[in-house]
């Protein structure tokens, strides 16, 4: 799964936002950075390049992602860690960053409280979340394909997990409940680009938990064919481009 995620989804979906978040991080002038839910390391690599004088610690709950990411972004210290129980002392970091990871935390307030604990006084928490599914050209096309392939019980991972954290006021309230002060929330729309719609379909079908949901429903090659057909119909043939909207949060300890 990490290899497919890295090949198809990182360049098209995640790298544009990683470049933005790394630039925002650099503007804060951090010395000790902790990254949560680092995945295969696309933001980690951006941080190492944008803030070369900072020490970067990258973490992920998934051991396979840690193994893959540590090879991709070897300049960081990599640790397997649960964001709700971080294995670091109080006040250790002056910046915590997270790219499209907070929506996976079972208890966001608990995770945000851990962020506050490991931040030094005045330290910042910088992260992004996806906007509503309707604002995502790639993900919306794949979900439409899944609903066509499974008209009765389509997999709901895409709308309920990665795009299930699109209420800015809710997230801001959770930050406040964890003792963090919300400094800024911005809406950001960037363009995603891929060599073909089939690559986007492959990334979601084999590089995310959608894979398990399809297998549980007995789906096989015919599901992939249907999703590729639908995404191509919606995005076009050949190289494809689509808008993607996210919210960028900055909070202070």
Res. 190: pLDDT tops 90: yes
Mean pLDDT, residues 4-20: 96
Which phi and psi angles does 103 have, rounded to 5°? -70, -15
Residue 224 CA to residue 220 CA, distance in Å, equals: 7
Domains of the chain: 2-133+158-191+243-252 (3.40.50.150)
159-to-32, 142, 169, 233, 234 alpha-carbon distances in Å: 34, 11, 18, 20, 18
In terms of Cα–Cα distance, which of 90, 168, 92, 77 is closest to 128?
Answer: 168
Helix (H, G, I), strand (E, B) or coil at 10: helix
DSSP secondary structure code for residue 39 in this structure? T
Share of the chain above pLDDT 90, in %: 98
At residue 58, does pLDDT exceed 90?
A: yes
* pLDDT category of residue 178 using cuts at 50, 70 and 90: very high
- Cβ neighbours of residue 34 closer than 8 Å, sequence gap 6 or more: 57, 59, 86, 88, 92, 93, 95, 96, 97, 118
Q: What is the per-residue pLDDT for 30?
A: 98
Task: Identify the pLDDT of residue 2.
Answer: 85
Question: What was the pLDDT predicted at 1?
Answer: 80
Q: pLDDT value at position 216? A: 96
At 18-46, the pLDDT tens digits run 999 999 999 999 999 999 999 999 999 99
Please tell me the predicted confidence (pLDDT) of residue 143: 98
Phi, psi of 205 (to 5 degrees): -75, -30
DSSP E strands, the chain:
32-36, 55-60, 77-80, 93-99, 119-130, 181-194, 240-252
**pLDDT, mean of residues 196-223:** 96
- pLDDT above 90 for 240: yes
User: φ, ψ for residue 7 (rounded to 5)?
Assistant: -75, -45
- The percent of residues above 70 in pLDDT, for the chain, comes to 100
The interaxial angle of helices 197-207 and 137-149, nearest 10 deg, is: 70
The confidence score (pLDDT) of residue 185 equals 98
Question: Span 82-86, mean pLDDT?
Answer: 97
Whole-number average pLDDT of the chain: 97
> What confidence tens digit (pLDDT) does each residue in 85-118 have?
999 999 999 999 999 999 999 999 999 999 999 9
- How many residues does this entry show for the chain? 253
- Under the banding of pLDDT at 50, 70 and 90, the label for residue 55 is very high
């Amino acid at each position: 799964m990490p290899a497919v995620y890295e090949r198809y989804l990182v360049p098209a979906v995640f790298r544009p936002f990683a470049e933005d978040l790394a630039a925002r991080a650099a503007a804060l002038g951090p010395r000790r950075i902790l990254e949560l839910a680092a995945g295969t390391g696309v933001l980690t690599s951006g941080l190492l390049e944008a803030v070369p004088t900072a020490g970067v610690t990258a973490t992920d709950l998934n051991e396979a992602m840690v193994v893959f990411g540590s090879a991709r972004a070897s300049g960081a210290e990599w640790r397997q860690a649960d964001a709700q129980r971080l294995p670091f002392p109080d006040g250790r970091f002056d910046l915590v960053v997270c790219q499209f990871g907070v929506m996976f935390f079972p208890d966001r307030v608990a995770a945000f409280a851990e962020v506050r604990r490991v931040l030094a006084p005045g330290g910042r928490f910088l992260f992004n979340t996806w906007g509503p599914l309707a604002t995502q050209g790639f993900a919306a096309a794949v979900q439409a394909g899944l609903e066509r392939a499974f008209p009765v019980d389509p997999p709901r991972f895409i709308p309920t997990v990665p795009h299930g954290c699109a209420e800015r006021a809710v997230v801001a309230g959770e930050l406040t409940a964890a003792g963090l002060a919300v400094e800024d929330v911005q809406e950001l729309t960037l363009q995603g680009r891929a060599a073909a719609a089939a690559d986007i379909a492959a990334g979601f079908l084999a590089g995310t938990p959608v894979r398990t949901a399809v297998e549980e429903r007995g789906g096989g090659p015919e599901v992939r064919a249907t999703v590729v057909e639908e995404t191509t119909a919606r995005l076009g043939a050949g190289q494809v481009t689509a808008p993607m909207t996210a919210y960028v949060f900055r909070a202070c300890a």
